[in-house]
Chain A
Amino acid sequence: MDNIFINIAGWIRDFIAGFGLSEGLVYLAMVLVKFVAVLVFVLLNVVFLVYMERRVAGFFQERLGPNRVGPQGIFQLVMDILKLLSKEDIVPAGADKLVYKTAAYVIFVPTMLVYMVIPFGKGMNVIDLNMGLFYILAVSSLTTLIIFMAGWGSRNKYSLIGGMRAVAQMVSYEIPFVFSFLGVIMLTGSLKLSTIVEAQQDVWFIVLQPIAFIIFLIAGNAEINRGPFDLPEGEQELVAGYHTEYTAGRFAMFYMAEYANLLAMAAIGTTVFLGGWHGPWLPGWLWFFIKMYILVFGQMWVRWTFPRIRIDHMMHFNWKVLLPISLANILVTGIGIKAYEMLRTMGWW
């Protein structure tokens, strides 16, 4: 059971190799196949996540949420997407058409790029980069640009404010977000995600780096514009923020990208802090999946509990609270590692 997906990948590889292609071409084809598999996985999960969010929101408010379309309303998002696709596609008269349209098409790209290096199980990543974590941080920060493109291209004051806020928020929270990983990187001495997960064989990094984990949760939540940090799209002030002017299929892209980002954040958290595929009895990929969904539920729980933070408080919290704490965490981790090494050399451990 543990290697079911790796075996399937092996069969497909043998099948493609059967055509007598060169080594490089087979590799390329396999990357493509894996990419499509991950894409399908992500889209199916997004469909479920939107449903889950609405259901969870309903439960927190003591109502049932969508429960009409299909068993328990599971096909609600399918119908929603169909409805959105059948609607008129409006481009605002004054919009910067190229920027406006491109933003909707590329909003999924950084998210999908992040998924490319995530190990969903032992050996179950599309590409196992040596610089996996660095790559994730570099690629995920691209989302800022795309959101700003959407806000700028719409030529709408609410969109613009939303885009501006997104930039301010995401660039600021990028810093504690990155620093929260530094402790883990110092412990493992590697940026390779599979190595980081292997290092958590005995102890998950949530135990060794609890403060970093909390910082990751908060900063990650702000990075994906959710929960108490949904200032860039605060309904009460900005209509819908950067995607105010988007309709039909393009709006659906933004809507789904938001949930793909949520899942990506949960996947990163699982990989770095919750021990990835490690866990007893069940197969590794199932463990990864369960941990990921526990994190997702946590994010939803937070979102439906806390009211939106004020914009100046948001900045204050980042620069004056999260950043010093994350720096202190790095310092303490460094001292801890050195102390541990010293005790070991002296033979006390």
Chain B
Amino acid sequence: MFGEGLLKGLGVTIKHFFAPKITEQYPEVKPKLPPLVKSRFRLNREKCIACGICANACPNKVITVNSEKDENNKKRLTGYEMNLQYCLFCGLCVESCPTKAIEIDQDFELAAYTRENTKMDMYKEALTNPPGTAAKEDKGGKDA
């Protein structure tokens, strides 16, 4: 019959009209990333021995480790900064860490408005965002 194809087409589109939407509702729903995605570093202050191996392992010299000697002549961590604007997220710092104090997870929302904000003070952040906390937590970090 003439016009049958038109009706069929209308039928197809109305089915899609009521079908569940396939686009990713990003800010509300976080994407499921592949397991090897590396993005945000987190520091465990208790585990860190301020040896500085991570800083040496870093190909871009992103990491600054500050330490002082205490009364027992042991090194104590006083500051840990990552300049994320030069970081290539290779994860060599994580691999090199002898005490597994630095970890990497999949929180990718690291965008910042200014160049200064790309510096991540991980020493301070470790208090509010210790490793193992869920990736949804976005307080502190690069904006702090």
Contacts and interface: CB of A to CB of B under 8 A. Distances in A.
Interface of chain B: mostly helix, strand, loop or mixed: helix
B21 A62 contact: yes
Contact of B19 (A62, A301, A306): A62
B16 interface: yes
A273 B113 CA distance: 58
B10 interface: yes
B133 interface: no
A295 to B, nearest CB: 15
B25 A64 contact: yes
B114 interface: no
B23 A301 contact: no
Interface in A97-147: none
A60 interface: yes
22 contacts: A59-B16, A60-B13, A60-B16, A60-B17, A62-B16, A62-B20, A62-B22, A62-B23, A63-B21, A63-B22, A63-B23, A64-B21, A64-B23, A301-B13, A301-B14, A301-B17, A302-B10, A304-B13, A305-B9, A305-B10, A305-B12, A305-B13
Interface of B: 6, 9-10, 12-14, 16-17, 19-23, 25
Contacts of A62: 16, 19-23
Contacts of A59: 16-17, 21
* Interface size classification for chain A: 10 to 19
Nearest to B6: A306
A311 B106 CA distance: 53
Nearest to B8: A305
Contacts of A60: 13, 16-17
A60 B22 CA distance: 11
B14 A61 contact: no
Nearest to A62: B22
B120 to A, nearest CB: 29
Dominant secondary structure of chain A at its interface with chain B: loop
A24 to B, nearest CB: 52
Contacts of A306: 6, 9
Nearest to B12: A305
Residue from the set A60, A64, A301, A302 with the largest chain B CB neighbour count within 10 Å: A60
State the 9 A-B residue pairs at the shortest beta-carbon distance, nearest first: A63-B23, A305-B13, A62-B22, A59-B17, A305-B9, A60-B17, A60-B13, A62-B21, A305-B10
A305 B9 CA distance: 7
A62 B25 CA distance: 12
Contact of A301 (B10, B21, B22, B25): B10
A63 B17 CA distance: 9
Contacts of A64: 21, 23, 25
Nearest to A302: B10
A331 B13 CA distance: 36
Contacts of B12: 305
Nearest to B2: A321
B103 to A, nearest CB: 34
Contacts of A304: 13
